[in-house]
């Protein structure tokens, strides 16, 4: 089984890049199943039901979220229109949406789970370890892929070590910068952060001039996603058909041409 995981889709540029390239990427990688983190898909913060539907129509089997899960309030009312949208297990509001989905693919049941880290993040309702430990007995699946959304590299590495024997992959998201530490830990694929699908010429997907104006020159400004072409960051996880354990993780990065 090959699973393609694409990192945080940022705003219009990231969305359009993913929607335009996903079917080719599936064909090139031979991916059977696709997970996309969509937590920054709507103007850099949150997601709408209509964007969820565009991502799934383009080939995403499951869309995950993060700290901006509920930044666009309409998604709370429209969760029933988004059956494969996964919100972090350990943030408020606890009753909106689901912290995991189980999808069938190639005769396997694939669970996709979303967990929020604690360090340098918004308040969580429980530590990530406790949230994952509580969910595990509820999940009946052959493969378990965790989207671990957080800032701290060490926290994500520690989480992977704690759950490596019980899950298939722990894929870090949120920092928007891809790390070069992909590895297999006891049959569990891990990368600290898979990186973003968002505007390349930016500060983490945000307009660089706006960020500098706000943080260096202390001028009030509104959050502005950068324009221009996007890079696409992701990873391909391969599992053994018999054991369902991860045997390979390959980092992927598709950058726009510098002349674009």
- Cβ proximity to Fe ion: between 59 and 88 the closer is 88
- Cβ proximity to Fe ion: between 72 and 143 the closer is 72
Q: Which of 93, 130, 116 is nearest to 39 (CA)?
A: 116
| # of chain residues touching Fe ion (CB under 5 A) | 3
Q: Rounded to the nearest whole angstrom, what is the least distance from the CB of residue 114 to Fe ion in the complex?
A: 11
Q: Rounded to the nearest whole angstrom, what is the least distance from the CB of residue 113 to Fe ion in the complex?
A: 16
Q: Rounded to the nearest whole angstrom, what is the least distance from the CB of residue 72 to Fe ion in the complex?
A: 14
Q: Which residues are known catalytic residues?
A: 68
Angstrom distance (rounded) from CA 62 to CA 80: 14
- Cβ proximity to Fe ion: between 156 and 174 the closer is 174
With contacts defined by CB under 5 A, name the span among 83-91, 162-170, 172-180, 198-206 that binds Fe ion.
Answer: 172-180
Residue 41 contacts residue 15 (beta carbons within 8 Å): yes
Q: Rounded to the nearest whole angstrom, what is the least distance from the CB of residue 227 to Fe ion in the complex?
A: 21
78 binds Fe ion (CB under 5 A): no
With contacts defined by CB under 5 A, name the span among 160-168, 171-179, 224-232, 252-260 that binds Fe ion.
Answer: 171-179
174 binds Fe ion (CB under 5 A): yes
**Structure-token pair, residue 63:** 């869309």
90 binds Fe ion (CB under 5 A): no
* Binding to Fe ion, residues 56-75 (CB under 5 A): 66-67
- Cβ proximity to Fe ion: between 67 and 168 the closer is 67
Coil, helix or strand for 165? coil
Angstrom distance (rounded) from CA 219 to CA 92: 31
Angstrom distance (rounded) from CA 22 to CA 90: 30
Angstrom distance (rounded) from CA 204 to CA 199: 8
- Cβ proximity to Fe ion: between 179 and 244 the closer is 179
CA distances from 209 to 70, 198, 201, 203 (A): 27, 16, 11, 9
37 binds Fe ion (CB under 5 A): no
Coil, helix or strand for 75? helix
Coil, helix or strand for 251? strand
Chain positions contacting Fe ion, by CB under 5 A: 66-67, 174
């Amino acid at each position: 089984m090959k699973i393609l995981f694409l990192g945080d889709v940022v705003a219009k540029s990231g969305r359009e890049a993913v929607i335009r390239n996903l079917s080719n990427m599936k064909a090139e990688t031979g991916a059977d199943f696709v997970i996309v983190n969509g937590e920054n898909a709507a103007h850099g913060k949150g997601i709408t039901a209509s964007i969820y539907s565009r991502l799934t129509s383009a080939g995403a089997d499951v869309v995950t979220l993060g700290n901006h899960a509920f930044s666009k309030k309409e998604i709370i009312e429209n969760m029933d229109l988004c059956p494969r949208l996964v919100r972090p297990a350990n943030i408020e509001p606890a009753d909106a949406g689901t912290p995991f989905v189980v999808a069938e693919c190639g005769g396997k049941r694939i669970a996709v789970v979303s967990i929020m880290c604690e360090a340098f993040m918004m308040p969580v309702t429980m530590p990530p370890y406790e949230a994952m430990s509580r969910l595990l007995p509820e999940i009946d699946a052959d493969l378990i892929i965790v989207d671990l959304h957080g800032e701290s590299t060490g926290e994500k590495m520690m989480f992977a070590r704690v759950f490596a024997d019980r899950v298939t992959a722990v894929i870090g998201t949120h920092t928007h910068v891809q790390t070069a530490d992909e590895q297999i830990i006891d049959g569990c694929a891990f990368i600290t952060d898979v990186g973003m699908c968002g505007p390349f010429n930016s500060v983490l997907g945000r307009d660089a001039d706006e960020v500098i104006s706000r943080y260096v020159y202390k001028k009030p400004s509104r959050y502005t996603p950068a324009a221009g072409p996007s890079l696409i960051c992701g990873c391909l996880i391969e599992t053994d058909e018999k054991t369902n354990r991860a045997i390979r993780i390959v980092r992927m990065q598709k950058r726009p041409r510098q002349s674009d």
